[in-house]
Amino acid sequence: MDKAFQGEHLLPGHLGQAFVILSFGAALLSTISYYFATTNTNKLDNSWLRMARLAFYANSISILGVVVCLFYVIYNHYFEYHYVWSYTSRSLPVYYIVSGFWNGQEGGFLLWTFWQAVLGNILIRRAKSWEKPVMTVVSLSQLWLASMLIGIQFLGARIGSSPFLLLRNSGIDAPILSQLDYLSFIKDGQGMNPLLQNYWMVIHPPTLFLGLASVVVPFSYAIAGLWQKRYKEWIAQAIPYALFAAMILGTGVIMGSLWAYESLSFGGFWAWDPVENASIFPWLIVLGGLHVLIVFKNTGHSYFTGTMLILLSFVMVLYTSFLSRSGILGETSVHSFTDLGMFWQLVSYIVVFLGISVWLLIARWKELPITKKDEETYSREFWMFVGAIFLGLSCFHLVLVTSIPVWNAIFGTKVAPPTDLVGHYNVIQASFAMVITILTGFTQFLKYKKTDITRFFITTGLYLLCAALITIPVVYATGLYKLHFVFTLVMLGSIYSILANGKVLADALKGKFKLAGSAVAHIGFGLMLIGALIAAGTRGVVSKNEQGTIAVSGFDKSSGIGDARENVMIYKNEPVKMGDYTVTYLGDSVAAPKRYFRVDYKRYDNDGKIAEEFVLRPNVLTNPQAGSEPSPVPDTKHFLLHDLYTHITALPVAKQPTSSESEEAAAHGESDDKNYDPPVAHQIAVGDTIRFREGFIVVKALVREKTLQNIPLTDSDYAFGAKLEVVSNGKTYQAEPVYMIKGKNAFDFARTVDDAGLKLMLTKIIPDKNKVEITVYQQPENKKPWIVMRALDFPYINFLWAGTVIMIIGFLLAIFRRNKELKTT
């Protein structure tokens, strides 16, 4: 019999696990039923369809059940569950408890299967004659996702990983877990990685997973079209969904990059990390596929390419998931994801869906409506097709390089990515971007099927000339021309694309409003590229103690872990000139788990007046885990045309004593002299000035004290206070050290001015000379509080974010248009 462990709440876990199994079973039944409903030749027999729908509803409801159970155990802090213990803690605010839900991989799968279920329910309502074959594919995908959550041993291998795994069964090597009362020792969970405690964690994963999940819809339509031999019909149906997938996936990816930019400190919005690259594979392919589908819809050309790209886009979703979850990227990615030991299960997901796609294409090859006629050279369809191919090539390059660890695993090689990886990606991807932007530009002047050639060349040439005239001042003003020539060409392409699409938009506003969607999306895309190009390419390092910002040589070359030669150490209250700014570290404050550092930026105009002043508060997050160092979080001042980004890169190792502590130490008479340079005694009169490293001290007055804290003073005792005014780095502080004669003993009470790093003592009174002796202890440079920080200037980065928003609007307009077309035809 099992031992009875005390204090466990097993019911929600059992219930949740039952729902997981149920969702798997229901997905299986739904797949089989939809399959037979599709192949059933008796049109009047709806029994399979009814069963399939019921099974799919059961699947959806059990997924909801899993979600509720998981949320219940997380919300109630049931740390007997490994998932709850690993990713949450009692101190987490509620909105992070929500995001603790998808902190682990199991939660990610759950989110994915949840969205897929939502999309499935929409399809059941909307797909009509397509429901049976399309839902067969969606259900099959649900089946695989459900299997990822099962977490049972089957024929010696573990299938999936359950979010309801108990801590004591999780394989953690700790004897305490076998004690019956182990839960009374586990008071709190591990908590969420502080870097994830950010509002982006609440909205980014659901968006990205909705994007990934929605790629299954056009894929299912493509499979259904091939399977049911309705080769041409599926395309018009799939276009709105493909637009939706491209829109949401793009939004999710950009959200991730905005998150990285705002709150992670690698100093940028895109680092070509394998996990980041993997997230855009499906986006590039679905975007390419979408364009070819539109070509086919309008002209009947390029059927095979369009179908293949749509099929490939979902395979890419699965491949992305494999790359980031299998642990294979260990040596190339900074994103460490736990390897849950589901390597082959993830591979099987890819193999099955790739296999079905390839097999259907081969089996139906002879019947595919492939045109034998060549496209016209001067037709929109031909160049749209070329553009889609280049999107595919861009993805091909990313896949090729990002998958180096996969090639190593397959072929047993030991190839490492290029040493200058960032430069490699930048130059090659920029080349593709250049071709694609130019194509999105001049294709707008072409018509489907046939175009008047002379007019086309005149307009294209005219717009290209305008674009060049704009590009030249832009690249000179931003300094982009100093970099690899290809970046200037991308700039030209983007500006050209914006001009050409701007013309289309202007025409659209005059009447042909249905064309606005693509024009707006292309303009947004162009703006995004311009923003990314200038911000990343001419990123200025402000934290260099020298004049002016310079173009980053590292844009062509690997810029190291991110902060090579870009750090500046500054002492508290000592202004340092960096670029246009005078930067001062003012102090720090703690609001657990964050410790904020106030960094003041001042810019003076030519007359020496302050033209601009702001305070940034970069902070470090204390990690709850023992021995872990705090994680830096940047702070950014956003201007309309540029951003000033600052983060902490190093701090003094030992904790700086807070001012109250040092005062206390002084009050207790403890010697903290070792923290100071050897003292210097000055014999001076009232009104005189003492100089020290960063300023001066004026002796304002000498006063006889009536009382002295809690020391009783009699008439025969003397206590004198020296009123001192300390001016350090332009700031004024007051201090009053005291000298006391009590009985036959003399005492001196030092006063510290922490901000100036001073300890001041009144050590002697010399009445015959009318002078006093002030002893000045000054902290050596390295005992003063300091920070090492890195400040970067990102010019025109708002173009990137604004471009994204515009692109999303364009996608939305296009979705409305295509939906309307579906209804009218």
Partner 1 sequence: MKKSSILGLVVIATAIAVIISLYSKASTYSSFSDAKKTESELRVIGKLDKQKELYYDAAKDANYFSFYVKDNKGEECKVVFAGTKPQDFEHSEQIVLTGQMIGNEFHASHILTKCPSKYTPDKIDVTAAKAKSANI
DSSP H helical ranges for 443-546: 453-478, 485-510, 516-537
Long-range contacts of 630-637 (CB under 8 A, 24+ apart): 630/595, 631/194, 631/195, 631/265, 632/265, 633/195, 633/263, 633/264, 633/265, 633/594, 634/262, 634/263, 634/264, 634/265, 636/261, 636/262, 637/601
Should residue 172 be labelled a site residue for partner 1 when binding is judged by CB under 8 A?
Answer: yes
Q: How far is the CB of 585 from partner 1 (least distance, A)?
A: 12
Should residue 7 be labelled a site residue for partner 1 when binding is judged by CB under 8 A?
Answer: no
Residue span binding partner 1 (CB under 8 A) among the ranges 24-32, 184-192, 450-458, 461-469:
184-192
Which of residues 357 and 631 has its CB atom nearest to partner 1 in the complex? 631
Should residue 689 be labelled a site residue for partner 1 when binding is judged by CB under 8 A?
Answer: no
Contact letters for partner 1, residues 82-111 (x by CB under 8 A): ----x-------------------------
**Cα 718 from chain centroid?**
65
Which of residues 298 and 558 has its CB atom nearest to partner 1 in the complex? 558
DSSP H helical ranges for 645-710: 659-667
Among 14, 50, 90, 187, binds partner 1 (CB under 8 A): 187
Should residue 177 be labelled a site residue for partner 1 when binding is judged by CB under 8 A?
Answer: yes
Residue span binding partner 1 (CB under 8 A) among the ranges 6-14, 205-213, 327-335, 445-453:
327-335
CA distance 624 to 191: 7
What are residue 231's phi and psi, to 5 degrees? -60, -40
Tell me the three state secondary structure of residue 747: strand
What residues between 566 and 595 interact with partner 1 by CB under 8 A?
566-569
Which of residues 384 and 499 has its CB atom nearest to partner 1 in the complex? 384
Determine the size of the site formed for partner 1 (CB under 8 A): 68
Should residue 332 be labelled a site residue for partner 1 when binding is judged by CB under 8 A?
Answer: yes
Asked whether the beta carbons of 526 and 501 are under 8 A apart, the reply is yes
Burial of 291 (0-12, 13-18, 19+ CB in 10 A): buried
Should residue 628 be labelled a site residue for partner 1 when binding is judged by CB under 8 A?
Answer: yes
Asked whether the beta carbons of 149 and 231 are under 8 A apart, the reply is no
**Among 136, 448, 405, CA closest to 299:** 448
**Cα 773 from chain centroid?**
59
Which of residues 108 and 517 has its CB atom nearest to partner 1 in the complex? 108
CA distance 98 to 74: 9
Q: For tokens 């009509």, name the residue.
A: 128
Among 334, 590, 701, 822, binds partner 1 (CB under 8 A): 334
CA distance 123 to 136: 11
Residues near 758 by beta carbon (within 8 Å), at least 6 away in sequence: 692, 697, 726, 728, 735, 752, 776, 777, 778, 779
Should residue 428 be labelled a site residue for partner 1 when binding is judged by CB under 8 A?
Answer: yes
Which of residues 157 and 334 has its CB atom nearest to partner 1 in the complex? 334
Among 221, 645, 733, 786, binds partner 1 (CB under 8 A): 786
Q: How far is the CB of 171 from partner 1 (least distance, A)?
A: 8
Should residue 406 be labelled a site residue for partner 1 when binding is judged by CB under 8 A?
Answer: no
CA dist 235 → 225, 232, 383, 385 (Å): 8, 6, 20, 16
Should residue 419 be labelled a site residue for partner 1 when binding is judged by CB under 8 A?
Answer: yes
Should residue 632 be labelled a site residue for partner 1 when binding is judged by CB under 8 A?
Answer: yes
Residue span binding partner 1 (CB under 8 A) among the ranges 53-61, 246-254, 315-323, 414-422:
414-422
Asked whether the beta carbons of 823 and 562 are under 8 A apart, the reply is no
What residues between 381 and 400 interact with partner 1 by CB under 8 A?
382, 385-386, 389, 393, 396-397, 400
Find the largest Cα–Cα distance for the chain.
Answer: 122
What residues between 722 and 781 interact with partner 1 by CB under 8 A?
781
Should residue 54 be labelled a site residue for partner 1 when binding is judged by CB under 8 A?
Answer: no
Among 58, 118, 186, 708, binds partner 1 (CB under 8 A): 186
Asked whether the beta carbons of 325 and 343 are under 8 A apart, the reply is no
Q: How far is the CB of 589 from partner 1 (least distance, A)?
A: 21
Should residue 326 be labelled a site residue for partner 1 when binding is judged by CB under 8 A?
Answer: no
Which of residues 193 and 298 has its CB atom nearest to partner 1 in the complex? 193
Q: How far is the CB of 711 from partner 1 (least distance, A)?
A: 40
Should residue 486 be labelled a site residue for partner 1 when binding is judged by CB under 8 A?
Answer: no
Among 7, 341, 461, 560, binds partner 1 (CB under 8 A): 560
Which of residues 3 and 414 has its CB atom nearest to partner 1 in the complex? 414
Should residue 45 be labelled a site residue for partner 1 when binding is judged by CB under 8 A?
Answer: no
Residue span binding partner 1 (CB under 8 A) among the ranges 149-157, 416-424, 474-482, 495-503:
416-424
Residue span binding partner 1 (CB under 8 A) among the ranges 562-570, 587-595, 719-727, 734-742:
562-570
- In this structure, how many other beta carbons lie within 10 angstroms of the beta carbon of residue 506? 10
Residues 437, 440, 446, 450, Cα dihedral to 10°: 100
Tell me the three state secondary structure of residue 586: strand
Tell me the three state secondary structure of residue 716: coil
Which of residues 42 and 419 has its CB atom nearest to partner 1 in the complex? 419
Residue 81 is classified by DSSP as B
What residues between 188 and 247 interact with partner 1 by CB under 8 A?
190, 193
Among 377, 547, 553, 734, binds partner 1 (CB under 8 A): 377
Residue 488 carries which side chain, given as an amino acid letter?
T
CA distance 501 to 507: 10
- Six token digits for residue 756: 């100036």
Q: How far is the CB of 392 from partner 1 (least distance, A)?
A: 8
Which of residues 134 and 295 has its CB atom nearest to partner 1 in the complex? 295
Among 424, 503, 602, 637, binds partner 1 (CB under 8 A): 424
Q: How far is the CB of 805 from partner 1 (least distance, A)?
A: 32
Which of residues 503 and 693 has its CB atom nearest to partner 1 in the complex? 693
Tell me the three state secondary structure of residue 240: helix
Asked whether the beta carbons of 822 and 529 are under 8 A apart, the reply is no
CA dist 208 → 60, 146, 214, 249, 804 (Å): 20, 19, 10, 6, 15
- Six token digits for residue 695: 């300023």
Should residue 550 be labelled a site residue for partner 1 when binding is judged by CB under 8 A?
Answer: no
* Strand partners for 646: 635, 791
Q: How far is the CB of 782 from partner 1 (least distance, A)?
A: 4
Q: How far is the CB of 338 from partner 1 (least distance, A)?
A: 5
Residue 432 carries which side chain, given as an amino acid letter?
F
Residue 199 carries which side chain, given as an amino acid letter?
Y
CA distance 462 to 458: 6
The residues that touch partner 1, with contacts defined as CB under 8 A, are: 86, 170, 172-174, 176-177, 185-187, 190, 193, 330-332, 334, 336-338, 374-375, 377, 382, 385-386, 389, 393, 396-397, 400-401, 404, 414-420, 424, 428, 558-569, 625-632, 649-650, 652, 781-782, 786, 788
